[in-house]
Structure 1
Amino acid sequence: MTVSSDIHPRVWPEPRAMLRLIKPITWFPPMWAYLCGVVSSGASPSGQWIFVIVGVILAGPVVCGMSQAANDWCDRHVDAINEPDRPIPSGRIPGRWGLWIALAMSVLSLALGWTLGPWGFGATIVGVLAAWAYSAEPVRMKRSGWWGPGLVGLCYEGLPWFTGAAVLSAGAPSMQIVVIAALYAIGAHGIMTLNDFKALEGDRQMGVNSLPVTLGPERAALVACWVMALPQVVVIILLTLWDKPMHALAIIGVLVAQLWAMRVLLTDPKGRAPWYNGTGVTLYVSGMMIAAFALRGLGAL
C-alpha cells in the first residue's frame, strides 16, 4: 500500500524534478547567441577556449537555468492552474526549495561570470537582475505583454551575443555587432510572445497581461510574426550595405522559409505555436549564425 504524499509530504526535492525546473530545452538560445558573439568578434579562439566553454555554460545551464527556476517559483500559483504537474505545484520540489535553488544559482552565476573578466561579469550582473525583474514582485515585468517578452528577448539573444563578442575581443564590440545583436533581440520578442500561448488561461486568471491575453491569439500571433520578420529585413539591408551580399541572400532564404511557417502558424495560432517554436525558431537562429559569420572581421563603423 502506497502512502499518499499529502499525508507524508516530501522534504527533499526530487532530482529529476530539479532538472526539469531549470528546463534544459531553454538553454539553447542563449548558448547559441553567445557562440554567435564569439564568431562575430573575429577573434581567434586559440588560447581562449576556456572563455568560450565557460561562457556557453554560463549563458545556458547557469544563468538561463537560474532564470527558469526563478520564474517557476514566482509563477507557482499560475502554474497550479496551467500546468499543475510542474515540479513546484506538484510538490516534487517542496516548500521553499524552488526559491533556494534560484538564489543559489544566482550566486553561482555571478561567481562564474567573474572568471570572464569585467565585460563578462558586468553582463552577468545584468542578466541576473533582469531574470528577477522579469519574474519577481514588485517589478514583475512579465505582467506586460510588451516589456516582458522584450526583456527576455534581450537576455536570450542580445546580451549573450554582446557578451561573447566582448569577452573574446577583450573590449567593447563594434557598432555593427551591437546593432545586429539588438535587431535579433528585438525579433526574439515575437518568439517569446508565441511562448506565452501555453499559459493563456492561467495568465488571464492571474492578471498577467501577455499579448495572447490582451490581443487574443489571432492578433497576438500576427503581431509576433511581424516583430520577428521586420528586424531580419533590416539585417538583410544592412549586410547588403556592408558589402556582404551572399550572407544577406542566405538570410533571405531562411526568412522566406519562416514566412511559409508563419502562414501555417496563423491558421491555428494557439494549436500551432509549439510547432512553430520548433520550426520557425530554428530557421531564425540559423540566420543569426549566418549574420555572425558576415560580421566576422568586418571593420568598425
Structure 2
Amino acid sequence: MSVSANLHPRTLPEPAAMLRLIKPITWFPPMWAYLCGTVSSGVSPLEAPALVLLGIVLAGPIVCGMSQAANDWCDRHVDAINEPDRPIPSGRIPGRWGLWIALAMSALSLLVGALLGPWGFAATVVGVLAAWAYSAEPVRLKRSGWFGPGLVGLSYETLPWFTGAAVLAAGLPDWPIIWIALLYGIGAHGIMTLNDFKALEGDRQMGVNSLPVTLGPELAAKVACVVMLVPQALVVMLLAHWDRPYHAAAVLALGLGQVWAMSVMLRDPRAKAPWYNGTGVLMYISGMMVAAFALRGLGMM
C-alpha cells in the first residue's frame, strides 16, 4: 500500500505562486503614469533612457509588486473567504513567507529609488509608506471605502506621474503637471471602487467598509462614475484654458466614450464591473497620455 498524498507541509514558496503574489496585471497603471510623467516633463525620454526604464521598473514590478505582496499578507483572512486559491491561503506560500517577501521588496524599492536621485527617492519613500498604510494594522486605510481607494488612486496615478516628471526635469514639476496628475489620481478613486466589487462578500464578513459594502453595488457604481468623470471634465477645461483645444477635445471624446461604457455597466454593476475595467478604464488612461502630450513645453502657469 502506498501513500499518494503529501503529508509534509510546504516550507518554501512555489515560484509560480510568488509571481502571482505580486500580481503582474496590476503593474501597468503606475508604469503608465510614470511614463505620462516623463512625457509631460517636456524632456525627451531619449535624453535619459536609463532613468525612464529604471523608473518604470520601480513603479511597476518593484513598488506595485511590493504593495500587492503586503496587501495579500494583510488580507490573507479575507482572501480565505473570497479567493481561497490565492498563494497565501492556499498554502503555496507558507508560513510568514508572504510577509518576508513584502518586507524584502520594500527594502529593494528604497534601494532602487535612491538611484533616481532625491526626488525619486522621496517619492519611493512615500509610495512604500502608502502601501503599508493601506493594508497593515493599525492604520489599514483599506477599511474605509473613501480613504482606501483614494490613497490607491493617488499612489497608482498621481505619485508615479509626479515622480516621472520630477526625475526627468531634476526638480519640482511645473504646476500644470501637478494639477493634471492630481486630477487623474482623484479620478482613479472610482476605478478602485469598481475593483472592490469582486471582494464584496469577503469584505462584508471581515468588516472592510468598501463603498460596494456600505452603499450597495448600484449606488457605489454611480458614485464611482461621478468620481471618474468630474476630474476629467476639469482636465478638459484646464487644457482648453491653457490653449490646448485639440488635446482638450480628444480627452472630452474619450470621456464621452466612458459615459457610454458606464451606461452599460450600470445595468448590472456586479456583473459588468470587470467588463468596464477593460473598456472604460482603457479610455481613461488614454486620456492621461493625451494630457501628458498637451503639457509638454507648457511651462509655468
Which category of TM-score, normalised to the shorter sequence, fits these structures? over 0.9
Shift of 1:46: 3.1
Structure 2 unaligned regions, length at least 5: none
Partner of 2:202: 202
Matched, 1:59 2:53: no
Q: Distance in 2 between matches of 1:282 and 1:261?
A: 11
Secondary structure of the equivalent of 2:266?
Answer: helix
The reply to whether residue 142 of structure 1 matches residue 142 of structure 2 is: yes
Letter in 2 for 1:227: V
Asked if 1:191 is matched to 2:194, the reply is no
For residues 14 and 78 of structure 1, the distance between their equivalents in structure 2, rounded to whole angstroms, comes to 21
Aligned partner of 2:26 in structure 1 is: 26
Residue 9 of structure 1 and its aligned partner are, at CA, apart by 1.0
Q: Does 1:297 align with 2:297?
A: yes
**What corresponds to 1:72 in structure 2?**
72
CA distance in 1, matches of 2:106, 2:258: 35
Query: For residues 1-301 of structure 1, what are the structure 2 equivalents within 5 Å?
Result: 3-5=4-6, 7-301=7-301
Cα distance in 1 between the residues matched to 2:148 and 2:41: 29
CA distance in 2, matches of 1:299, 1:74: 43
Q: Which moved more, 1:46-55 or 1:209-218?
A: 46-55
Q: 1:26 and 1:47 mapped to 2: Cα distance?
A: 28
What is the CA–CA distance in structure 2 between the aligned matches of 1:106 and 1:272, rounded to whole Å? 35
Cα separation, 1, equivalents of 2:46 and 2:71: 37
Give the residue type in structure 1 aligned to 2:243: D
Task: Count residues with an aligned counterpart.
Answer: 300
Question: Offset at 1:47?
Answer: 3.5
Give the C-alpha shift of residue 8 in structure 1: 1.4
Secondary structure (helix, strand or coil) at the match of 1:221 reads helix
- 3-state SS of 1:267 partner: coil
* TM-score, normalization by structure 1: 0.98
**Distance change (3 Å), C-alpha of 1:9 and 1:254:** same
Give the Cα separation in 1 of the matches to 2:279 and 2:16: 27
Deviations 1:264-295 (A, max 9, x none): 11000001011111111111000000000000
Deviation at 1:78, TM superposition (A): 0.1
Moved over 4 A (4+): none
Distance verdict in 2 for CA 1:3–1:89, change over 3 Å:
farther
Task: Read off the aligned partner of 1:237 and give its amino acid letter.
Answer: M
Per-residue Cα deviation, 1:208-261 (whole angstroms, up to 9, x for no partner): 000000000000000000000010000000000000000000011111110000
Deviation, structure 1 residue 45 = 2.3
Alpha-carbon separation, structure 2, partners of 1:297 and 1:258: 28
Q: TM-score if structure 2 supplies the norm length?
A: 0.98
Amino acid at match of 1:228: M
> Alpha carbons of 1:2 and 1:97: their partners in 2 closer, same or farther (altered >3 Å)?
farther
Q: Could you tell me how far apart the structure 2 residues matched to 1:202 and 1:225 are?
A: 23
* SS of the residue 2:46 aligns to: coil
The 2-side partners of 1:26 and 1:234 are apart by 26
The CA deviation at 1:2 is 6.5
Percent identical residues: 75
Give the whole-Å Cα distance in 1 for the aligned partners of 2:160 and 2:277.
Answer: 20
Give CA-to-partner distance per residue, 1:145-178, whole Å, 9 cap, x none.
Answer: 0000000000000000000000000000000000
Partner Cα distance (2:74, 2:227) in 1: 27
Equivalent position amino acid for 1:138 in 2: P
Distance 1:268 1:44 in 2: 44
- CA pair 205-252 structure 1, distance change in 2 beyond 3 A: same
1:44 CA drift (Å): 2.1
CA distance in 1, matches of 2:4, 2:95: 19
Q: 1:2 to 1:276 in 2, by over 3 A?
A: farther
Unpaired stretches in structure 1, ≥5 consecutive residues: none
Secondary structure of 1:46 counterpart: helix
Give the letter for the 2:120 counterpart. G
Root-mean-square deviation (CA), in Å?
0.8
Separation in structure 2 between the aligned mates of residue 157 and residue 102 of structure 1, nearest angstrom: 21
Alignment-mate amino acid for residue 149 of structure 2: P
- Quick one: distance in 2 between partners of 1:225 and 1:60? 26
